[in-house]
């Protein structure tokens, strides 16, 4: 964040990020400071604006008040959306820009003026500049454009789509050379495991505003233990999901059917495409990258409330109200925790021993520990903090600005620190998920090189500190 947007653009060629959010947060913290609240408030602002955009889309597609209110409530109570509204990352901005793109597309389909088309092209381009995974939404945009009811003929739609496509290409062209380098890097190495049917089901649960693991805790609070296992929950969800999908096009007016199918394709195509790509090629399946689909999933599931009639409408109202109750329950019982780097750093800073070394081998973790040590906890006596990044304040001059953890040799680094005789204590901060074998071996290595070793965990056990007390010389 401390580097200028111009330098960020160059550095991102060796990462997998996109530039827009980093430029926005760079300007934001320049105005409001570098506190945790300042960093996270920008995402909160984007998410608040997303709620308004969701309302505009829902009201424009179907003017049914119950549908608008119910779908808006399900979206607002989605634990997944709220989680990333509090993250200092690009997902809330991506969510907002994709919703703006859908709204601009609705305006174009209703009245294809030059201003509306320019707005659509700008919104899609900004979404692409926010996250590279926005590329997977383009087929959904195309399907929505061709299927959604409009006064335009099919041939006119194609011509207008070509114009918008050319504008997007021209606006996005400066990023294409960087995108090519990033794509080669991701295809060479990316951490996401190949998804399975269970991962896809979890994504559908999550994007509907439901957390199955939180809902299962209801068994301990309600007298339904024998009928509320995971299998029952999955069955109920799949039945409700299937009925809601069918209710958008079964027994409804043709114009409503086309609207419903267009919305379903826009929402589900990105999920399906990323899932299939990740099955047959390098996996990039990470549910947060598909947060735009999460934005309109609640609306998609509530469509039958707006288009069905009579007893069928009543039945769908019951289903969608149950969905809302499930979303509220999932949010209220949510136990998901962030990595508590603040708490870990506070612990490290408060240790009284000053003749001490803190080693943080994982580069992203080193950045976070340094941030908290030099910010919220700078009043404490600061020990020496080291890691693979030698200078956190200078822009890198070579590709791959974050050191390669896989190529590092933690045991050699720790051996040199111990043999130097400079330290009475050496503390190693670790993120315990996805650790390379060399990092996993650190506690065992220290047990044979220190007078005593303490292992502590933070949060829900995803972070840890290994303390080497009295290292042998």
Q: Residue 280, exposed/middle/buried by CB under 10 A (0-12, 13-18, 19+)?
A: exposed
User: How far, rounded to the nearest angstrom, does the alpha carbon of residue 182 sit from its chain's CA centroid?
Assistant: 19
Q: Using CA atoms, how far apart are residues 422 and 416, in angstroms rounded to an integer?
A: 10
Q: Order of strands, edge to edge, in the sheet holding 450-458?
A: 384-387, 356-360, 425-431, 463-471, 450-458
Q: Which of 90-94, 107-111, 216-220, 312-316 has the lowest mean pLDDT?
A: 216-220
More confident call, 375 vs 240: 240
The pTM score is 0.84
Of 408, 456, 468, which Cα lies nearest the Cα of 432?
A: 456
Rg (C-alpha) for the chain, rounded Å, is: 25
Mean pLDDT of the chain: 87
Q: Which of 47-51, 273-277, 390-394 has the lowest mean pLDDT?
A: 390-394
**Overall average pLDDT of the 52-75 stretch:** 95
Q: Residue 260, exposed/middle/buried by CB under 10 A (0-12, 13-18, 19+)?
A: buried
**Overall average pLDDT of the 253-259 stretch:** 96
Q: pLDDT at position 461, please?
A: 67
Q: Using CA atoms, how far apart are residues 317 and 323, in angstroms rounded to an integer?
A: 10
Q: Which domains does the chain have, with CATH numbers?
A: 5-332 (no CATH), 341-471 (3.40.50)
Q: What percent of the chain has pLDDT over 70?
A: 89
**Overall average pLDDT of the 75-94 stretch:** 93
pLDDT tens for residues 12-25? 766 778 899 999 99
**Overall average pLDDT of the 66-95 stretch:** 93
């Amino acid at each position: 964040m401390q580097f200028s947007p111009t330098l960020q653009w160059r550095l991102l060629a060796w990462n997998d990020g996109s530039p827009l959010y980093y430029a926005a947060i760079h300007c934001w913290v320049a105005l409001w400071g570098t506190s945790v609240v300042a960093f996270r408030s920008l995402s909160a602002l984007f998410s608040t604006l997303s709620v308004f955009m969701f309302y505009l889309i829902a009201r424009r597609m179907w003017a049914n008040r119950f549908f608008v209110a119910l779908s808006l409530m399900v979206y607002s109570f989605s634990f997944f959306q709220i989680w990333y509204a509090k993250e200092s990352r690009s997902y809330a901005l991506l969510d907002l820009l994709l919703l703006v793109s859908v709204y601009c597309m609705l305006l174009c389909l209703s009245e294809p003026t030059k201003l509306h088309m320019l707005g659509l092209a700008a919104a899609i381009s900004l979404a692409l500049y926010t996250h590279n995974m926005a590329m997977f939404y383009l087929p959904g945009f195309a399907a929505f454009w061709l299927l959604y009811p409009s006064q335009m003929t099919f041939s006119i739609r194609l011509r207008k789509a070509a114009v918008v496509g050319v504008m997007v290409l021209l606006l996005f062209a400066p990023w294409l050379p960087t995108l090519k380098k990033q794509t080669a890097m991701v295809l060479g190495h990316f951490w996401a495991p190949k998804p399975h049917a269970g991962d896809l089901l979890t994504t559908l649960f999550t994007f509907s505003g439901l957390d199955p693991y939180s809902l299962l805790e209801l068994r301990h609070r309600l007298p339904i233990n024998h009928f509320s296992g995971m299998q029952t929950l999955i069955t109920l969800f799949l039945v409700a999901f299937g009925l809601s999908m069918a209710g958008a096009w079964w027994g409804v007016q043709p114009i409503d059917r086309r609207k419903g199918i267009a919305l379903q394709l826009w929402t589900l195509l990105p999920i399906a495409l990323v899932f299939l790509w990740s099955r047959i090629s390098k996996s990039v399946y990470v549910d947060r990258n598909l947060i735009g689909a999460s934005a309109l999933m609640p609306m998609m599931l509530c469509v039958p409330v707006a288009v069905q009639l009579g007893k069928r409408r009543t039945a769908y109202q019951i289903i969608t109200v149950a969905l809302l109750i499930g979303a509220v329950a999932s949010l209220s019982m949510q136990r998901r925790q962030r990595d508590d780097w603040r708490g870990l750093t506070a612990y490290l800073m408060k240790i009284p021993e000053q003749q001490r070394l803190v080693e943080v081998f994982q580069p992203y973790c080193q950045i976070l520990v340094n941030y908290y040590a030099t910010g919220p906890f700078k009043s404490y006596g600061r020990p020496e903090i080291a890691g693979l990044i030698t200078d956190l304040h200078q822009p890198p001059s070579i590709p791959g600005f974050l050191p390669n953890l896989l190529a590092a040799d933690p045991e050699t680094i720790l051996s040199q620190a111990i043999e130097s005789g400079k330290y009475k204590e050496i503390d190693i901060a670790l993120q315990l998920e996805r650790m390379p074998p060399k990092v996993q071996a650190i506690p065992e290595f220290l047990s044979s090189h220190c007078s005593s070793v303490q292992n502590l965990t933070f949060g829900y056990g995803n972070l840890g500190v290994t303390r080497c007390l009295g290292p042998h010389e």
